[in-house]
């Protein structure tokens, strides 16, 4: 029997607007699943059941208005919501309750969404895994011994386990795409400047942007539309292009030229070893796109000097946090290391890194300009056990993060849009994803390609290598948590 969480977010909205299900019924359904299943998954750090049910009841008395009317979501625990504890993944803020709601949350409220609480995130969102001193780790629902990635690990876990239909997230170096790929769901990192309230344009290097996580490409596009339309642009350099991205998820695909590479900008500085399953996912996606009539070409890309510029900018971002020496003794070792390293940088070093980032952006966009999209692995390694990242040696920890996800952060530095979508199953039955990177402002094209990639994948599911996978279209909720 089909249950509510088996429906896509778009299907749930149809049912809500047709009054086949009420906002209260849908909210209760998800709250019940959270109560039953989240203890072993660590998706949530705060559940606001009473507030959610009260809002659902109020919405049920109104006409169905708003793109997310009656649909549950949850705020990442980096996003303040008035009256709800916001801990930023840190014991420094265990008792912090904001008195104002940030745009990232308010925009979804205004679209008619219902927040169920806060999703798990690492301390200040600084790492690509979600394990903190104040909450259980976010785990991969497919194999709960493994972590869910980060920094939007709780959001990805909640979506993959059917605890939410979709979730807002943020991505400063892969924080949407890493967890989405880890747990086999869809994640979109928009172009720099695309989302008005989290454009990246007011941060060093322009790295962090807001975006969606969902089980389908169309559901992710739905949430991205809400995030883009929620506020007016306040920068002259807003991403180009317009129109509903949800339409792109169902649009016919014109023939595209797609470049394929497994080169990482970290190859010269880290021992990057591509797992055979990740390589096979790229090969399968390449074949699917070629069979669909697209021009697909392997190309040689040789980025230079990336490791130094990114580590400098990342440390600079951490150093901006106003933490005392006493507070640095209380935070995670990786946080303290990044802050202290950042404070040792000179102004000249920071300016050189920012200038190098501009050069890298230009050279990367030029290298990719021949293509409508570039296909890469999503991750280099399969999901790793909770505790795999070194708990005390921060330098080793950072290196592990790079080796796990070397294809993510450079997209932020270049300001380009990207989407991750599962395309194969590993030998153990776990989804394996690929990444499509678009041109500046090119979200619509990669959304269309990702949706087509999913449709093509389902046609060969009978071979066994593609069965049970979301493909950006159908549910990938593991049987063990249904």
Catalytic residue among 90, 115, 118, 151: 151
Catalytic residue among 90, 115, 152, 175: 175
Structural domain count of the chain = 1
The parent domain of residue 368 ranges over: 4-481
The 10s digit of each residue's pLDDT in 275-303 is 999 999 999 999 999 999 999 999 989 99
Q: Is the overall model pTM greater than 0.85, yes or no?
A: yes
Residue 18 CB contacts under 8 Å (≥ 6 apart), including other chains: none
Q: Tell me the per-residue pLDDT of 139-183, one tens digit each, with 9 for 90 and over.
A: 999 999 999 999 999 999 999 999 999 999 999 999 999 999 999
Percentage of the residues of the chain whose pLDDT score is greater than 70: 94
Q: In this predicted model, what pLDDT tens digit does every residue of 374-423 receive, in sequence order?
A: 999 999 999 999 999 999 999 999 999 999 999 999 999 999 999 999 99
Rounded to whole angstroms, how far apart are CA atoms 130 and 137? 6
What CATH number has the domain bearing residue 22?
Answer: 3.90.1300.10
Distance between CA atoms of residues 278 and 404, nearest Å: 11
Q: What is the number of other CB atoms lying within 10 angstroms of the CB of residue 253? A: 17
Could you confirm whether 151 is annotated as catalytic?
A: yes
Confidence of residue 455 (pLDDT cuts 50, 70, 90): low
Is 409 considered catalytic here?
no
Separation of alpha carbons 75 and 83, rounded Å: 13
175 is annotated as an active-site residue: yes
């Amino acid at each position: 029997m089909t249950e509510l969480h088996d429906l896509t977010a778009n299907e749930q909205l149809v049912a809500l607007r047709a009054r086949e299900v009420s906002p209260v019924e849908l909210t209760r359904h998800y709250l019940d699943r959270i109560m039953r299943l989240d203890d072993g998954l660590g998706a949530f750090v705060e559940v606001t059941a009473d507030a959610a049910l009260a809002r659902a009841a109020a919405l049920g008395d109104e006409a169905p208005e708003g793109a997310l009317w009656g649909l549950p979501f949850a705020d990442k625990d980096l996003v303040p919501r008035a009256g709800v504890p916001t801990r930023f993944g840190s014991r420094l803020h265990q008792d912090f309750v904001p008195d104002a709601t940030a745009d990232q949350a308010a925009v979804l409220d205004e679209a008619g969404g219902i927040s169920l609480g806060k999703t798990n995130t690492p301390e200040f969102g600084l790492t690509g895994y979600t394990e903190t001193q104040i909450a259980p780790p976010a785990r991969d629902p497919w194999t709960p011994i493994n972590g869910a990635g980060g920094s939007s690990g709780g959001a990805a876990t909640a979506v993959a386990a059917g605890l939410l239909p979709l979730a807002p997230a943020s991505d400063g170096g892969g924080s949407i795409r890493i967890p989405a790929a880890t747990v086999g769901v869809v994640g979109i990192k928009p172009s720099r400047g695309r989302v008005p309230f989290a454009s990246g344009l007011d941060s060093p290097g322009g790295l962090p942007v807001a975006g969606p996580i969902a089980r389908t490409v169309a559901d992710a596009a739905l949430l991205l539309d809400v995030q883009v339309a929620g506020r007016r642009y306040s920068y002259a350099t807003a991403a180009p292009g317009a129109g509903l991205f949800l339409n792109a998820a169902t649009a016919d695909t014109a023939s595209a030229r797609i470049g394929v590479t497994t080169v990482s900008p970290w190859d010269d500085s880290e021992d990057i070893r591509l797992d055979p399953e990740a390589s096979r996912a790229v090969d399968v996606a390449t074949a699917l796109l070629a069979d669909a009539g697209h021009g697909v070409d392997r190309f040689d890309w040789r980025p230079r000097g990336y490791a130094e510029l990114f580590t400098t900018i990342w440390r600079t971002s951490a150093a901006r946090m106003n933490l005392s020496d006493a507070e640095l003794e209380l935070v995670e070792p990786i946080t303290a290391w990044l802050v202290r390293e950042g404070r040792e940088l000179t102004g000249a070093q920071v300016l050189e890194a920012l200038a190098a980032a501009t050069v890298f952006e230009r050279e990367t966009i030029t290298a990719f300009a021949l293509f409508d999209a570039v296909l890469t692995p999503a991750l280099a390694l399969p999901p790793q056990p909770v505790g795999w990242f070194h708990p005390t040696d921060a330098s080793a920890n950072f290196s592990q993060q790079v080796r796990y996800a070397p294809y993510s952060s450079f997209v932020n530095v270049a300001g380009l849009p990207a989407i991750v979508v599962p395309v194969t199953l590993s030998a153990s039955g776990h989804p394996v994803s690929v990444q499509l990177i678009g041109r500046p402002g090119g979200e619509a094209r990669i959304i269309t390609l990702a949706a087509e990639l999913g449709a093509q994948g389902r046609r060969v599911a009978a071979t066994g290598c593609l069965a049970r996978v979301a493909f950006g279209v159908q549910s990938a909720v593991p049987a063990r948590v249904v």
